[in-house]
């Protein structure tokens, strides 16, 4: 057992830290690596393992729990393999153990990992499991971010094993977050990349968790939160409908004309007291782009015409924004074209799932000049007006 990773007497972190992993789901950049968190909870009669690790790091988990003579339960809060993939390896070492999950989790674990029927115990929302002096309560939190996800609450110690909720892709040698700035950034990035599409559902789960006294949050990725109030408050803000006086400006410029428009609009928005977050899509980190989507009120997509439509990088950025379902309220398209202007229709269609209040596009044939710059000034003024009407606090 890792004495350096002891949370309480009989309660240990036994997961695996992956400092070198740089991509998750073949999509999400991991600039700081990640961790796969698993926990041992010892009662006077029974011992439980809370989740497991990615199958590539199963040996690390087995080494960390090699001092456990008998393992009675493996709690599976989530069937995705970065949490469940090492369960078969643990079952081979501990054939006496039972996998505890909900019915949907059982179905997914059976199909993904081939775990047999007789190895499962299924639990309902609010059901408990007595370890002897320690009680595990199971809390359904579906769509965080799969339909079977649940959390586990250790009543006597007031510890919430929150699965992906409150997690972060951050590899660190320390056990606790202690509200460090780097941790806060990583938690927001994780929320943006993984949780944001389920914002309204998570809002209800956070209200449900308000009914529990929580001293420690032990997520499935990243550091343990030993001062949980700050991370809970941050999530409540992110899932709310409150927007910031910010314009998100993803852009591509092939020959400089669209960049001139982006530069002019940036200055015009700043003159109106509006913050601008720009993203050159040729070099942008998708995670940073996702983080900016969390709070912004408006997105202005800037693209040159590519053949007759939008540039492929812009298409990808618009598709990602639509998929992540942020609380954006307003949108617009600007850009330079040679002969085709279908980029407005294309981008608007790609963002259609967000139900944005779209403003008049600003398109310039060739290099922007006087009338084009005046139209950008008018767009900046219109954005300020829309923000004010929406109750957004202006700078």
Fold classification of 3-239 is Metallo-beta-lactamase; Chain A (3.60.15)
Tell me which of 3 and 163 has the higher pLDDT.
Answer: 163
pLDDT of 158 > 70? The answer is: yes
pLDDT of 26 > 90? The answer is: no
Overall average pLDDT of the 339-352 stretch: 94
Overall average pLDDT of the 334-340 stretch: 92
pLDDT of 52 > 90? The answer is: yes
Is the pTM value of this prediction over 0.85? yes
pLDDT of 185 > 70? The answer is: yes
* 3-239 and 247-383 in the same fold: no
The pLDDT value recorded for residue 179 is 63
> pLDDT exceeding 90 applies to what percent of the chain?
91
Give pLDDT tens digits for 233-252: 999 999 999 999 999 999 99
Overall average pLDDT of the 21-30 stretch: 85
pLDDT of 133 > 70? The answer is: yes
Overall average pLDDT of the 291-319 stretch: 96
The pLDDT value recorded for residue 304 is 97
Give pLDDT tens digits for 370-379: 999 999 999 9
Q: Please, what is the end-to-end C-alpha distance for the chain in angstroms?
A: 53
Average pLDDT, the chain: 95
pLDDT of 223 > 80? The answer is: yes
Domain boundaries, the chain: 3-239, 247-383
Overall average pLDDT of the 272-285 stretch: 96
Fold classification of 247-383 is Rossmann fold (3.40.50)
pLDDT of 365 > 70? The answer is: yes
């Amino acid at each position: 057992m890792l004495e350096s990773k002891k949370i309480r007497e009989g309660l240990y972190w036994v997961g695996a830290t992956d400092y070198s992993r740089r991509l998750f789901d073949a999509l999400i950049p991991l600039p700081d690596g990640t961790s796969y968190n698993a926990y041992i909870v010892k009662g006077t009669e029974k011992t439980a393992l809370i989740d497991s690790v990615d199958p590539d790091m199963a040996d690390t988990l087995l080494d960390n729990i090699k001092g456990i003579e008998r393992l009675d339960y493996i709690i599976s809060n989530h069937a995705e393999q970065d949490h469940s993939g090492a369960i078969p390896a643990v079952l081979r070492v501990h054939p006496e153990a039972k996998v505890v999950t909900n019915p949907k989790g059982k179905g997914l674990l059976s199909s993904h990992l081939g775990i047999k029927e007789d190895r499962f115990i299924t639990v309902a929302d609010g059901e408990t499991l007595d370890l002897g002096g320690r009680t595990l309560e199971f809390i359904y939190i579906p769509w965080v971010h799969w339909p079977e996800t649940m959390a586990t609450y250790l009543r006597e110690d007031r510890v919430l094993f929150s699965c992906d909720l409150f997690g972060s892709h951050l590899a660190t040698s320390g056990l606790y977050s202690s509200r460090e700035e780097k941790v806060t950034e990583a938690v927001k990035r994780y929320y943006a990349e993984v949780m944001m599409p389920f914002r309204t559902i998570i809002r209800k789960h956070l209200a449900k968790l308000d009914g529990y006294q929580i001293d420690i949050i032990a997520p499935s990725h990243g550091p343990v939160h030993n001062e949980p109030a700050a991370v809970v408050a941050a999530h409540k803000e992110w899932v709310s409908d409150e927007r910031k006086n910010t314009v998100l400006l993803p852009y591509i410029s092939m020959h400089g004309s669209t960049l001139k428009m982006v530069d002019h609009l940036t200055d015009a928005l700043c003159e109106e007291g509006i913050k601008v977050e720009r993203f050159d899509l040729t070099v942008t980190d998708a995670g940073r782009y996702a983080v900016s989507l969390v709070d912004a009120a408006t997105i202005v997509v800037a693209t040159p015409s590519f053949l007759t439509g939008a540039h492929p990088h812009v298409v990808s950025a618009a598709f990602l924004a639509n998929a992540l379902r942020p609380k954006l309220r307003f949108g617009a398209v600007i850009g330079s074209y040679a002969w085709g202007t279908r980029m407005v229709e294309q981008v608007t269609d790609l963002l259609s799932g967000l139900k944005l209040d779209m403003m008049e596009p600003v398109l310039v044939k060739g290099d922007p000049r006087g009338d084009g710059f005046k139209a950008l000034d008018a767009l900046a003024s219109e954005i300020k007006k829309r923000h004010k009407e929406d109750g957004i606090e202006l700078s």
